[in-house]
A and B are shown apart, each in its own frame.
Chain A
Amino acid sequence: MKGNARAFASALFLIGLGLMLVTLFEALPFGGAPMQVGQAIAGRALEDTGATNIVSAVLLAYRGLDTLGEVAILFVAATAAGLVLGGAGRAEAQGTPAGFILRAAAALLFPFLLVLGAYIVIHGHLTPGGGFQGGAILAAAFFVPLLAHPASPVNHGVATVVEAFAGAVFVVIGLAGLVGGGAFLVPLLGAGTPGDLFSAGSLPLLYLAIGLKVGSELAGLMARIAAAGDPARQGGKA
């Protein structure tokens, strides 16, 4: 098929699809979500978990398994990317150094990003934010210096340890419920006083684990992809 003809046909099909989707969405009552489950959760989340951020309660308690899966997906993706790209970052690198502004700003930003990320992680059960958002910021904190100093070797060792233990902690907290004869991921340690930093039982712990895991994995992923574009950094893998 010629490129133009394909584009034209695709456009026609897309218009058709669009019209059908619009028809479907029209039939949905916007703003009147059925909330079969959502209503119940909104009503009892505080008693169940002690988290004031109900989204966090859903994420870590009601749908904690999804979150574990989500962490696992990042881990799978990182492992698979590692497998595909080979052990990057070991070789003596010689990338082009970044400009002064980036280097200065990176040094300046690093502690702030670190603090911000940590804050967002540990307050995830109280305010908007949480392990993923905070973890992403933490990853950025470590990635910005790398941008500033492309030649600096990445130490995957520490990241691996953090990654491994953070992930394991999540599963172990979940399995702790089984030991007590309950279900997987049962909330532990009591709900506490709503609004306090040390409340919501094991939720902050889970968020911490997620934050560290996501942070280290994203940082590792970005470092690998960045290194992959640079043949000198591919650790002997051609």
Chain B
Amino acid sequence: MTLTAHHVVLPVALPLLVAFLLPLVGRLSDGLARLLAQLTTLAVAVIALLLWPAASDGGALVSAMGGFAAPIGIVFYADKLALMFVVALAVGLLLFRPRREHDSTKVQTLWLLLLAGGSGLVLSGDLFNIFVFYEITAVATYGLGASAHTGAGYGASLRYLLLSALGSAFALLGIALVYAAAGTLNLADLSQLAGERLTGPMGLTAFVLMVLGFGVKAELFPVNTWVPEVYTAAPTRVTAVLAGVVSKLAMVVILRLLVLLFQDPAALGFLLLLGAIGVAAGELAAFRSRDLHRTFAYSSIAQLGLMAVAFSIPGHAGVLAGIAVALHHLVVKPAFFVLADRWRGEIAGLTGAGRTSPLAAGLFVLLSLSIIGIPPLPGFWAKLMLFKAAIDAGGAGNLTAVAIILAATVIEAAYLFRVVGILYGTAPAGRPPLRFTLGELAPGLLLGAVLIAATVSVAPLGDGLTAMAADSADAAAYASRVLPGGN
């Protein structure tokens, strides 16, 4: 089958279709439903990969839903950035797929809906449509967050739901303001109108409201207070996907908003501020944390703050840095959570765990080194890109952010290597050793291998990302592809 631009809807439509039918299949056989869902996820990844060459040829694939061209209908815009995140999401969902367990079909259905929602989030080129997909993603994660069936899970999920719904209301208000001011919801159309309609207090307010809304999932300060609770209380599979992939999707939305609608320095400054606070808050709270899950949750907040800082740097250098940080975190954090799954509870209780499972401890060290940013691991290059972009952009805000990140890196190393020290300590006698089965560790090892592969091929990878970032940061190209006739 040859794929046309219109097939970019498949990553959304296919999982939706299967998800709708899954409860029926699940009545027949749980195993069949699981298989079907996983095949669908795989198919989405394959489709996104098949679309890739076409997207790189023309810059992006554009499909107008229902055949109603750009400003009137909803468009899907699949550039390499969007396709990459679709692939990442599908692979992540496959890697951490639900096992045979209670309510398997329901969890699997939510898994597919998460895939559909997440794909739509990055593919859609319409502001309100993005909001709809954001909500699909959000509601699916509320359910998954509670799927551990513990009181803490319900409580965390409810508090997350309330915060997220509050944010969504803000975001919707922001979208309403945009619509009231500009009369259109198409991002390409808006990017052409932004200069005259979305400046001044109206546009900035809309931006602030939307950032507070979409920032919930992107773990931005101050709407990230749900993160430690949910990441600790949810099943680790869910946490790995939430922290690893879903948060990035929301960040991509914020990136699109910034690039297309709000190139205002004030808007960028706002995001920079939130990002820098996020970095400091996340690392310090992680330093204080005494539990591995929580530590990683806070560290995730800090990493997303790093992304926000990167995206707030104008030009494609900032976008490149942000994407690099995102991809790095996408690989590292799920692997961390794989380890945290077995090493539950107090960190102090892990004494000697590294000696009983040396492979896991080695993986932990590798991931830690990369996330701290030690050359030649990918984390270093990502941070280097970020710093270079910030320094070249100049300005007191950027320089302060760099200083904060540098200081936060030391804190980060402090808490990660405190764990390393404990892992390699001497275990008290008489405690049953914590061992991983190979199956448990496999996703982590796979991600570790990806990290090493990325280290080796950092040069070509960097070139590819640079091209991708340059394209993603180009608002004019976006508009001209979506609105070919001009407007």
Contact of B189 among A36, A61, A64, A80 (CB under 8 A): A36
Closest to A29 in B: B180
Neighbouring B residues of A41 by C-beta, 8 Å: 72
Q: Give chain B's interface secondary structure class.
A: helix
Interface flag for A83 (CB, 8 Å): yes
CB neighbors of A among B1-52 (8 A): 4, 6-7, 9-10, 12-13, 16-17, 19-24, 27
Contact A184 B132 (CB under 8 A): no
Q: What range describes how many residues of A lie at the interface? A: 35 or more
| Count of A-B residue pairs with CB < 8 Å | 183
Task: State whether A171 touches B143 (Cβ < 8 A).
Answer: no
State which residues 39-94 of A face B: CB under 8 Å. Answer: 40-41, 44, 48, 61-66, 68-70, 72-73, 75-77, 79-84, 86
A99 at the interface (CB under 8 A from B): no
- Please pick, from B20, B23, B136, the residue contacting A171 in the complex, using a CB distance under 8 A: B20
Cβ of B74 under 8 Å from chain A:
yes
**Residues of chain A with a CB closer than 8 A to B12's CB:** 65
B109 is an interface residue with CB less than 8 A from chain A: yes
Write the chain B residue with the least CB distance to A77.
Answer: B139
- How many residues in B have their beta carbons less than 8 Å from beta carbons of A? 65
CA of A185 to CA of B64, assembled, Å? 10
Stretch from B112-120, B338-346, B436-444 forming part of the interface with A: B112-120
Q: Does chain A have a CB within 8 A of B357?
A: no
Q: Which residue of B lies closest to A213 (CB)?
A: B20
Do the beta carbons of B6 and A83 come within 8 Å of each other? no
Bound form: Cα–Cα A49–B193 in Å = 28
Query: Given A63-B73, A65-B74, A163-B20, A28–B147 Cβ distance below 8 Å?
Result: no
* B66 at the A interface (CB under 8 A): yes
Inter-chain contact B68/A79, CB cutoff 8 Å = no
Say how far A143's CB is from chain B's closest CB, in angstroms.
20
- Across the interface, name the chain A residue whose C-beta is closest to B9: A184
- A66–B133 alpha-carbon span in the complex (Å): 8
**Binary contact track B44-76/A, C-beta < 8 Å → 1, others 0:** 000000000000000000011111100111100
The answer to whether B103 has its CB under 8 Å from any CB of chain A is yes
Least CB distance, B369 to chain A, in whole angstroms: 38
Residues of chain A contacted by B113 (CB below 8 angstroms):
72, 75-76, 79
Q: Chain A's interface: helix, strand, loop or mixed, by majority? A: helix
Q: In the complex the two chains form, is A76's CB within 8 Å of B140's CB?
A: yes
Are A182 and B177 in touch, CB under 8 angstroms?
no
Contact mask A156-183 → B, CB, 8 Å, 1/0? Answer: 0100110110011001101101100111
B110 at the interface (CB under 8 A from A): yes
Q: Are B16 and A68 in contact (CB under 8 A)?
A: yes
Task: Return chain B residues, CB-CB under 8 Å to A5.
Answer: none
Check A181–B4 contact: CB distance below 8 A.
yes
Tell me which residues across on chain A come within 8 A of B143, comparing CB atoms.
76, 79-81, 83-84
Interface assignment of A1: CB less than 8 Å from any CB of chain B: no
Judging by beta carbons under 8 Å apart, are A48 and B110 in contact?
no
Q: In the complex, are the beta carbons of B139 and A76 less than 8 A apart?
A: yes
A34 partner, pick from B107, B154, B182, B202, beta carbons under 8 A: B182
Contact B106 A83 (CB under 8 A): yes
Distance to closest chain B CB from A51 (angstroms): 13
Partner of B110, one of A83, A171, A178, A186: A83
Is there an interface contact between A76 and B136, defined as CB atoms closer than 8 Å?
yes
Beyond A33-B183, A37-B185, A183-B67, is A72–B6 a contact (Cβ under 8 Å)?
no
The distance from the CB of B50 to the nearest CB of chain A, in whole angstroms, is 14
Shortest B20–chain A CB gap in Å is 3
Q: How far is the CB of B461 from chain A (nearest CB, A)?
A: 33
A24 within 8 A of B: yes
A48 is contacted by which of B23, B68, B107, B180 (Cβ under 8 Å)?
B68
Q: How far apart sit A168 and B184, CA to CA, in the bound complex (Å)?
A: 30
A150 touches B (CB below 8 Å) = no
Cβ-defined contact, B110 with A185, below 8 A: no
Q: A164 to B19, alpha carbons, bound, how many Å?
A: 9
Contact A172 B63 (CB under 8 A): no
| In-complex Cβ contact of B66 among A27, A33, A35, A184 (8 A) | A184
Contact residues of B between 152 and 195, Cβ < 8 Å to A: 154, 157, 177, 180-186, 189, 193
Residues of B73-126 at the interface with A, using a CB-CB cut-off of 8 Å, are: 73-74, 103, 106-107, 109-110, 113, 116-117, 120, 124
Q: Are A172 and B17 in contact (CB under 8 A)?
A: yes
CB-contact partner of B106 in A24, A70, A82, under 8 A: A82
Indicate whether A61 sits within 8 Å of B7 (C-beta atoms), given known contacts A24-B201, A28-B180, A79-B106: no
A187 interfacial by beta-carbon distance below 8 Å: yes
Nearest residue (CB) in B for A40 is B72
Flag whether B296 is at the interface (Cβ < 8 A).
Answer: no
The answer to whether A69 and B65 have CB atoms under 8 Å apart is no
Tell me which of A34, A163, A182 contacts B6 (CB under 8 A).
A182
Give the CA-CA distance A41 to B185 in the complex, in Å: 13
A40 to B69, CA, bound (A): 12
Q: Answer yes or no: A3 CB below 8 A from chain B CBs.
A: no
| Chain A: CB-nearest residue to B137 | A76
**Contact (A175, B13) CB under 8 Å given A24-B202, A83-B106, A164-B20:** yes
Pairwise interchain contact B183-A79, C-beta atoms closer than 8 A: no
Q: Cβ of A171 and Cβ of B13 under 8 Å apart?
A: yes
Q: List 28 A-B contacts (CB under 8 A).
A: A20-B205, A33-B183, A35-B183, A36-B182, A36-B193, A40-B72, A61-B73, A63-B128, A64-B65, A65-B120, A65-B132, A72-B117, A72-B136, A79-B23, A80-B106, A81-B143, A83-B107, A83-B143, A83-B146, A160-B27, A163-B20, A164-B23, A174-B13, A177-B6, A178-B7, A178-B10, A183-B64, A187-B66
Other A-B pairs beyond A28-B177, A76-B117, A167-B17, 7, CB < 8 Å: A65-B74, A66-B132, A69-B120, A83-B106, A84-B154, A164-B22, A183-B6
Chain B residues engaging chain A, CB cutoff 8 angstroms: 4, 6-7, 9-10, 12-13, 16-17, 19-24, 27, 63-68, 71-74, 103, 106-107, 109-110, 113, 116-117, 120, 124, 128-129, 132-133, 135-136, 139-140, 142-144, 146-147, 154, 157, 177, 180-186, 189, 193, 197, 201-202, 205
A residues adjacent to B (C-beta < 8 A): 20, 23-24, 27-28, 33-38, 40-41, 44, 48, 61-66, 68-70, 72-73, 75-77, 79-84, 86, 157, 160-161, 163-164, 167-168, 171-172, 174-175, 177-178, 181-187
